[in-house]
Amino acid sequence: MNATTPAPAPRDALLRIRGLSAGYGLVGVLQSVSLDVRPAEFLALVGSNGAGKTTLLRTLSGLLPVQSGTIEWEGRSIGGLTPDAIFRLGIVQVPEGRQLFPRMSVQDNLLMGAYRRDDKAEVRADLDKVYGLFPRMAERRRQLAGSMSGGEQQMCAMARALMARPRLLMVDEMSLGLAPIIVDQLMDNLTAIRDQGVTILLVEQDIHLALAAADRAYVLETGQIVREGPARDLIEDPELKRAYLGV
């Protein structure tokens, strides 16, 4: 599949990336990536393992430097900001592998998501909201996070991110290693989060899963965007079906 030329950025783009190249030291991974994230949308970034999806999220979070190109948040360049400064803008990542504190309780893990906040009454209110969205976390609140199942740990990681009051929630490989019934539940949770006004960027190698839930999507191959458009159109793309779905 050939690389695509990005459409002009919508005027209301929340996050705008143009010509982004990044990688690890001298090893380049992303090559002139351009994409837009619009407010309160569910956007999917899909592609096979090794395509550069996690590298893109790490660059957006400030964990990897921008080699060339620009990243703008509400029209402001953020390509050189620290991870903490980016986090304070409301750009929050649920990392691949969850990265919980296994010897801490579920509730203490959730409160770690609010470690930068000093509005204690609102933190408690948000904790109640998160427990409403993830009732199993309420049941497990005193349990050590490391003793839960993989699906429950993924719920905990997502709930912890919500405690930071994200404006953009970036979720990396949510379905990895989980049973389909758990993945379906987590996807329902993501949709509910979007319906509350939080913008979602889901990075996923299960292309059918992501396209079935998203509003729009980009396809990343070997560090380049090769397709973009409404998810309902991409899921019917014959070339994508052959390449990723074996159809």
| For the chain, domain boundaries | 1-90+166-247, 95-164
pLDDT value at position 246?
58
Most confident region among 10-24, 114-128, 160-174 by mean pLDDT: 160-174
The reported pLDDT for the residue numbered 166 is 96
pLDDT band at 48 (very low <50, low <70, confident <90, very high): confident
The Cα 243–Cα 170 span in angstroms is 25
Residue 205, pLDDT score? 83
Q: Token match 């203490």: residue?
A: 108
Question: 246 burial class (0-12, 13-18, 19+ CB within 10 angstroms)?
Answer: exposed
Q: Is pLDDT above 60 for 8?
A: no
Instruction: Select from 3.40.50.300, 3.30.470.10, 3.30.479.10, 3.90.480.10 the CATH code of 1-90+166-247.
Output: 3.40.50.300
Instruction: Select from 147, 157, 221 the least CA-distant residue to 190.
Output: 157
User: pTM for this one?
Assistant: 0.90
Tokens of residue 176, six digits: 């990895």
User: In the chain, where do the E strands start and end?
Assistant: 15-24, 27-37, 42-46, 68-73, 76-77, 91-94, 168-172, 199-204, 216-221, 224-230
